[in-house]
Each structure stands twice: as C-alpha cells, then as structure tokens.
Amino acid sequence: MDQYFSSQTLNTLMAKLNEWLAASGLSLEGGLWVWALVQLAVLAVVFGVARFITGQLAPFVEAKLAESEDKSRLERFLVLASSKLHYIVFLFSLWIAIAIMRAATWPSRSHFLSVVASLVTAWLVISFTSSLIRNKTLAKMIATIAWIIAALNIFGILDDAIVLLDSLAIVLGKVRVSALLVIKSLIICSLLIWAALALSRFAEERLAKVEDLTPSVQVLTGKILRIALLAVAVLTALNVVGIDLTALAVFSGALGLGIGFGLQKIVSNLISGIILLLDKSIKPGDVIEIQTVSGTKYGWVEHLGARYTSVRSRDGTDTLFPNEIFIASPVTNWSHGDRRIRQRLSIGVSYDADVEKAMELCKEAASEFDRILKSPAPVCLLIGFGESSIDLELRFWQANPEGGLRNLASQVYVSIWKKFKEEGVEIPFPQRDLHLRSTGDLKVTAGDPPSEPADKAA
C-alpha cells in the first residue's frame, strides 16, 4: 500500500492531472488559458439562463400537475421530473452550447463542458433510477455510490481507484478482506435484497387478488416467499463476491446458539405467527376480544405479521400484540366460524304495563335496522320477575361484527325508548317499601316546638 503514497506515484498522478487539464482545455500553458476562461464563462451563462427559464416554467408545470387527478406511474414520474426541472433545463442548454462550440472550433476546446454535461447526465439518470427504491436511505446510498463510480469512469481513473481499494486489505487466516471486497459486497447485497423485497411485494399483491385463497394462506405464502427470496439474495451475493460459504459454518453454528439463548422471545413470536397462519384460528378481518393486563381489548385483526398481530379498535388506534399471546391466552373470535353474532339486550317494564305489547315494540325496534338480520328474526323473551320490573330480553343477530356491537345496541335502545314513550309503556326505576316497627304509641304533634328555659338559653 505504501507504493501508492510514494513521491514517484504522486508525481505520476500530477502528470496525469496536467494531461487531463490540457485535454479538457483548462491548461494554463500557452494560449489554452483563453479557452479555459471561455468554457467557464459559457458554463456560468448556461447556468444563469437555465435558472431563468426554470423560474418562468416551474409555476406552469406545477399548476398543470396539481390539476391532474391521475395517480399513475407516468404521473409520479412527471412529478419527480418537475422537482429536477432546473437540472434538466441546465443539461439541455449545456448540450446546445457544446454543439455550438464544436461547430465553431476544435472539439478539444469544449472538452471540459462535455465532462460537466456527462456528470450531470449521470446524476439525473441515477437519480431517476434510484427513485424506484422505496427505502429512501437505501436509495440515497445506492445513488451516491453509483454516481461516484460514474464520475471516476468519466475522469478515466476508475481502474486506478479499483487497484487502490484492492490494495487496502487485511488478511484473517486464509481470508483476505479488502476495501474493494467490502464495497462490492455492500452494493451487490443491497441490490439483490432490494430486488428480493420488490419481487416479494409484487407476489403478495398478486396473491391478495386470488379469491380462491383464504387470507391466512395468502399471508403465510407471502411470508414464506419473502424469507426464501431474502435467503437466496444473501447467498447469491456472498457467492458472487467470492466468499466461501463453508467458511461460515462456524459462524452459523454460533448464530444458532445465540438465537436459542438470546432471541427466545423473537423466535417464539415467529413460530407462533406461523402456527396462527397454519391453523387459521386468527386471520385478517376477524373481530376478536382478548384479555390483557390493562383490561379487555376489542377490535378486528388489521395485519397478521411474522412477529406481531395488529388489532385495530373502534377508536382507530392499532395495538401490536406479540403472536405468542394468541397461543398462550384465551381469545374470543367473534367471526371465526360464522360472521353472524347474536346480541342480548336487557329491558325492564313496569308491572302495570302490557307485557305482550312491550315485547312487540322491542321486536319492531330491532327490525328497523339494516344491520340486524331478518332471518333469524329478532325475538323478545320474558326471562323473570324482578324486584321492581318485569325483565325482558331482546335477542337479534347481526352479520358484520367489524361494524361494532355497542353502537348498534345503543341505537336499538334509543328506538325502544321512543316507542315506549309513544305507547305509554313505563320503564320503572328501583322502588323500596319502608316498614317502621315500634313497641309503643307514636305521638304526633303540630305547632311550634317548645321553648327552652331562659337560664338554659343563656
């Protein structure tokens, strides 16, 4: 590695730099300095013209895109292009200036402008390509590395940079790890993992549209496919960069031991998630009720993942439960075998009321709502004689538990209340009879209470 930092090497690099400057028309030797100034002036003028044109054109383009309601891929591409409109106009103007200079004088006198145009072109192409990656951090990393490689290639020093990176290495036994190997591994592994994730997302979207598969089978197939694609991507990346997979045998054994002792909960949740998907006890869309430390949680399964299950409540909040809770704790699944749910509403009427009429009014109130099934029809039963009322119970079935239970019960109660008020059916309140027992006669007097003696009052 010391050979790259010797005085002879530095002198060689300076000589190559002078040669490149001379070829670009930026050398200060002889009369070439005039064309160096000309190219810099042309670059400044082109930049200013592009900035002016963009300032006039950008509001018009943004207004047109805002009016469009189309959210297709072409529309998203145009939005991305509008955000880089200044660089596009600058590049277009720069190529026009280069064409004019090449037609008027020697091509070597516009070489520097060509290099700048090539760098901007590479940056735009890489920027548009990396926008296809959803992970912004990964997209920026890939775009930066790709542009550096393109810039080194444009300057003609890519091969020297590769040799330099390959020389920066350490040897661990029989394994030689260089900076070039690390960079190649990161690039290839990132690209393959991105491709695997993109392919798995595409497959999951296709599986979600297959109506013959249940939601549990769709999720399970998607998760297995994603794990398989990621494993293939990692193994392929290691094989491409030249890493012997047999050298990872000891590492994989240690990793398995670490998973067994240190990642018990994660593995437990992962296996529990696979079990839930296989036995179909809980699937996306099911309405469940689960006992937690903070109380009873009611909601519907929004997402069933490999490690957790997302349950959305009626107030719009999502609670993430580890999958092992659904294996070890009792769970009420309101829509496991049948999405129909029967509700029971307790109602009390006065002993003076017409019980049969009250029962008919309760059934009429339940029949007014579309969410309540007409078959089986709502029924109202007399279930007992209470201390203050005759106890009735209204029973009805509903087919969409995800729409809520208590809100429907509240609406039915309000309808019953209105019908009872219209028909004069009394809903009693608790009453108690008070019996006083005395061993003697109870004397009752009327008038002012007797006055106290003066000395006691004082």
Among all chains, which residue has been given the structure tokens 């550096």? 148
Over pLDDT 70: what percentage of the chain? 72
Task: Please state the rounded mean pLDDT for residues 347-374.
Answer: 88
d(CA 307, CA 270): 5
- Strand 295-304's sheet: what is its strand order? 318-322, 308-312, 295-304, 287-292, 331-333
Q: Give the class (CATH, top level) of 341-423.
A: alpha beta
d(CA 202, CA 206): 6
Q: How confident is the model at residue 4 (pLDDT cuts 50, 70, 90)?
A: very low
Q: Considering only 219-228, 388-397, 426-435, which range has the smallest mean pLDDT?
A: 426-435
72-81 contacts at long range (C-beta below 8 A, 24 or more positions apart)? 77/128, 80/128, 80/131, 81/128
Collapsing DSSP to helix, strand or coil, 394 comes out as: strand
- pLDDT of residue 5 exceeding 50: no
Minimal CA–CA distance to 107: which of 99, 118, 115? 99
- Strand 390-398's sheet: what is its strand order? 341-349, 390-398, 379-385
CA 174 vs. chain centroid, Å, equals 44
Over pLDDT 90: what percentage of the chain? 2
Q: Considering only 19-28, 151-160, 218-227, 433-442, which range has the smallest mean pLDDT?
A: 19-28
* Mean pLDDT of the chain, nearest integer: 76
- pLDDT of residue 389 exceeding 70: yes
- pLDDT of residue 260 exceeding 70: no
Q: How confident is the model at residue 458 (pLDDT cuts 50, 70, 90)?
A: very low
pLDDT of residue 18: 59
What is the DSSP code (8-state) at residue 372?
B
Domain boundaries, the chain: 2-167, 181-262, 271-333, 341-423
Of 1.10.390.10, 2.30.30.60, 1.20.1060.10, 3.40.605.10, the CATH number of 271-333 is: 2.30.30.60
Tens-place pLDDT, residues 118-137:
888 888 888 877 777 777 77
pLDDT of residue 112: 78
- pLDDT of residue 23 exceeding 80: no
Collapsing DSSP to helix, strand or coil, 439 comes out as: coil
Collapsing DSSP to helix, strand or coil, 436 comes out as: coil
Q: Is residue 331 within 8 Å of residue 297, measured between CB atoms? A: no
At 131, phi and psi to the nearest 5? -65, -15
